[in-house]
Amino acid sequence: MEIREKQELSEKENLSVYAMLSMDTKGREKPEVECEIRTCYQRDRDRILHSKAFRRLKDKTQVFLSPKGDHYRTRLVHTLEVSQNARTIACALRLNESLTEAIALGHDLGHTPFGHAGEKVLNEMNPLGFKHSSQSVRIVRYLEKDGKGLNLTWEVLDGMEHHSIKSMPATMEGKIVRLADKIAYINHDIDDSIRAKILKEEDLPMQYTKVLGHSFRERTNTMILDIVRESEGKNDICMSDSIYQAMFGLRSFMFEHVYTDPDTKKEEEKVTNIIAPLYEYYLSHIEQLPKDHQDRIKHKGDSREQAVCDYIAGMTDHYAIEKYQDIFIPKFWLET
């Protein structure tokens, strides 16, 4: 018996009846010979971790554009915090930790440069619309590895596609990531806002902090513990009503005081002034796109708009600024 088969047997013997077992996967779009050591979900996790799209997350905005300081979250740090929270919950509930980790590591691969501000611009300009969750799936299906994709399992793709609050994944593991994502960004965005002196701890509404706690650690622990307690023995991932309402109360507070703050919106206007001209330029100069993007138009039936979105969405913050300068700023205007 191979090591992988022993692991699959161990899952069957030890995981919850509600767990998604590796041996029960719906499989991959292209059948493959199984790994001798790793389960299918462990293999997916590793493919995501070693992808170029994952590495680019280190230079993509979480909330604050071009923050001055070493300790603000990037999209990569957010992803790692989501993964850790999700794995803690999965382990406590005896669900499939490898599947949970793979979904968590891949859920934000499709994010644009400059975070949700960049996503908003592409969504408004592209006639087909743009959603980072769908782009995450597109990356691992069609764009990575020079267009070959990563050939991930159905369950990982489903969890990545449906991690937003308006969606519902098919697996318990996907449902964990869906809530772990909210837990991570609400709490670390508060932490970064306090670091940036936009907020003070005492500014947070007492009606929510008295339920969730008065620090990053307390609030994170309260939310995770509540999910474990409320979900144990159930075929669902749940939160108690009081914790759920308090969590989304804080989320609404953050939208009002940070995400849509006038100073934040002022920075988002700068993002529009970078992303929109890049989109229009490449739409009119398809020959300037990388060869693999041009080939997708010629041979795969992709629209010009889709190819441009793929290219811009894959950029890091710094690379988008660099391309904007190369195209639109006369060289003698740049400082040397």
What number of other Cβ atoms are within 10 A of residue 13's Cβ? 7
Do the domain assignments include residue 209?
A: yes
Given this model, what pLDDT does residue 258 score? Answer: 86
Query: What are φ and ψ of residue 268, in 5° steps?
Result: -65, -30
Q: Are 307 and 296 in contact (CB under 8 A)?
A: yes
Question: What's the CATH number where 107 sits?
Answer: 1.10.3210.10
CB 86 within 8 A of CB 101: yes
pLDDT at position 69 is 66
In angstroms, how far is CA 264 from the centroid of its own chain? 21
pLDDT score of 61: 87
What mean pLDDT is predicted for residues 28-33?
A: 96
- Widest pairwise Cα distance in the chain: 68
Residue pair 102/20 in contact (Cβ under 8 Å)? The answer is: no
Contact 77, 57 (CB under 8 A): no
Which of 259 and 130 is assigned the larger pLDDT?
A: 130
**pLDDT band, residue 68 (cuts 50/70/90):** low
Nearest to 115 by CA among 275, 252, 283: 275
Residue 173 has pLDDT above 90, yes or no: yes
Distance CA 239, CA 336 (A): 55
Q: Is the pLDDT of residue 109 over 80?
A: yes
Q: Is the residue at 233 inside a domain?
A: yes
The span from the CA of 261 to the CA of 316, in Å, is 24
What is the per-residue pLDDT for 70?
Answer: 75
The model's pLDDT over 316-333, given as tens digits with 9 standing for 90+, comes to 999 999 999 999 998 765
Domain membership flag for residue 207: yes
Q: Is residue 279 part of a domain?
A: no
pLDDT of res. 269 = 84
In a domain, 114, yes or no: yes
The DSSP-derived string for 186-216 is: HHHHHHHHHHTTS--GGGS-HHHHHHH-SSH
Confidence check: pLDDT of 170 > 70:
yes
Q: Six-digit token pair at 6?
A: 């022993």
Q: Is 153's pLDDT higher than 60?
A: yes
For the ranges 17-31, 85-99, 252-266, the lowest mean pLDDT is seen at 252-266
> Using CA atoms in the order 215, 73, 309, 169, what is the torsion angle rounded to 10 degrees?
-40
**Number of domains observed in the structure of the chain:** 1
Cα three-residue angle 287-288-289, rounded to 5 degrees: 90
Rg (the chain; Cα; Å): 21
In a domain, 12, yes or no: yes
pLDDT (0 to 100) of residue 332: 66
In a domain, 78, yes or no: yes
| Domain extent at residue 256 | 3-262
Q: Average pLDDT of 284-300?
A: 95
**CA atoms within a 13 Å half-sphere pointing along the CA-CB vector of 91:** 8
- In a domain, residue 282? The reply is no
For residue 66, name the pLDDT band (cuts at 50, 70, 90): low
